[in-house]
């Protein structure tokens, strides 16, 4: 009878990802400076992923209290306290307004120019639109201003954690490790193995396409407003 593996816990630490990337560049002996720049390249790669929308596993459901006459939420009012503060939010994907009877109403996103063109932003009512300002200190603007106390329920896409020390485990899902490794190999090749840049870029873009397809395929519809129905967990 064949013997099958009984574990499914394979993962790569940061130093193993860096080692694999250097090997793909044909570099076996690495200096301390090269290792330092590899970690910097890895953080830049994660920033690129965020810009290209490849980090939906960082989405978290959040709730925030919205008092009457308030038109915006920021800082601790938006996200609370701790290491994962509001500055870590890179995008808000869905917003629902929940009233005191637990009825839920969807909010539509609007652009910055649309929000700025509203001459009276303090008129009271139930917020039906939102604009998320992506700054160092992100702010969620709601229109119209709340006429009574509500609860804002939203999904926040958070910034991916930095690579950290070389002994750290990464937070990237298992299925995205090939893309992460291929991307880092390409970034390193730009500096230390230019003759391999074209090939490694092709490998990286193919792995990115696969990861992006998986990323989109795993996204579900976050919010289905429950008008007149007691809010539950979804």
What are the structural domain ranges in the chain? 14-54+161-217, 56-158
pLDDT at 232: 40
pLDDT at 13: 80
Helix axes of 14-24 and 32-51: crossing angle, nearest 10 degrees: 100
- Specify the residue for token string 């910034």: 159
Retrieve residue 120's tokens: 């009276």
Out of 50-64, 80-94, 215-229, give the one with best mean pLDDT. 50-64
Retrieve residue 84's tokens: 């994962």
Sequential DSSP letters for 44-111: HHHHHHHHTT--GGGEEEEEEEE-TT--EEETHHHH-SSSS-GGGEEEEEEEEEE-TT--EEE-EE--
pLDDT at 2: 59
Retrieve residue 6's tokens: 């009984």
Compute the distance between CA of residue 173 and CA of residue 168 in angstroms, rounded to an integer: 15
Sequential DSSP letters for 165-226: STTSBP-S-GGGHHHHHHHHHHHHHHHH-GGGHHHHHHHHHHHHHHHHHHHHHT--------
Out of 23-27, 93-97, 132-136, 161-165, give the one with best mean pLDDT. 23-27
pLDDT at 87: 76
Compute the distance between CA of residue 53 and CA of residue 148 in angstroms, rounded to an integer: 35
Buried b or exposed e, range 98-126, using 16+ CB within 10 angstroms: beeeebbbebeebeeeebeeeeeeeeeee
Mean pLDDT score, 164-177: 64
Compute the distance between CA of residue 137 and CA of residue 77 in angstroms, rounded to an integer: 12
pLDDT at 234: 37
Compute the distance between CA of residue 20 and CA of residue 5 in angstroms, rounded to an integer: 24
Does pLDDT of 222 surpass 80?
no
pLDDT in tens, 201-214: 999 999 999 988 87
**Which H helix or E strand runs over 147?**
none
pLDDT in tens, 17-72: 899 999 999 998 888 899 889 989 988 998 888 788 776 556 778 889 999 999 99
pLDDT at 225: 39
Q: Is 147 left (phi over 0), alpha (psi -120 to 50) or beta?
A: alpha
């Amino acid at each position: 009878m064949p013997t099958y593996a009984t574990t499914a816990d394979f993962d790569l630490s940061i130093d193993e990802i860096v080692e694999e990337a250097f090997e793909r560049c044909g570099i076996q002996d690495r200096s301390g400076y090269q290792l330092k720049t590899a970690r910097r390249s890895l953080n830049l790669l994660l920033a690129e992923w965020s810009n290209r929308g490849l980090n939906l596993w960082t989405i978290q459901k959040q709730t925030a209290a919205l008092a009457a006459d308030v038109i915006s939420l920021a800082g601790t009012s938006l996200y609370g306290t701790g290491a994962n503060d509001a500055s870590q939010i890179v995008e808000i994907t869905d917003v629902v307004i929940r009233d005191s009877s637990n009825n839920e109403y969807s909010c539509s996103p609007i652009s910055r120019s649309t929000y700025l063109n509203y001459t009276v932003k303090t008129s009271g009512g139930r917020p039906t639109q939102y604009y998320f300002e992506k700054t160092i200190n992100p702010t969620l603007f709601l229109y119209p201003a709340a006429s009574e106390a509500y609860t804002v329920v939203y999904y926040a896409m958070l910034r991916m954690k930095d690579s950290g020390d070389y002994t750290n485990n990464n937070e990237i899902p298992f299925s995205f490790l090939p893309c992460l490794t291929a991307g880092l190999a390409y970034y390193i090749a730009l500096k230390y193995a230019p003759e391999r840049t074209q090939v490694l870029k092709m490998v990286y873009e193919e792995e990115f396409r696969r990861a992006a397809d998986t990323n989109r395929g795993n996204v579900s519809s976050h919010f289905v407003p429950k008008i007149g129905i007691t809010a539950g967990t979804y």
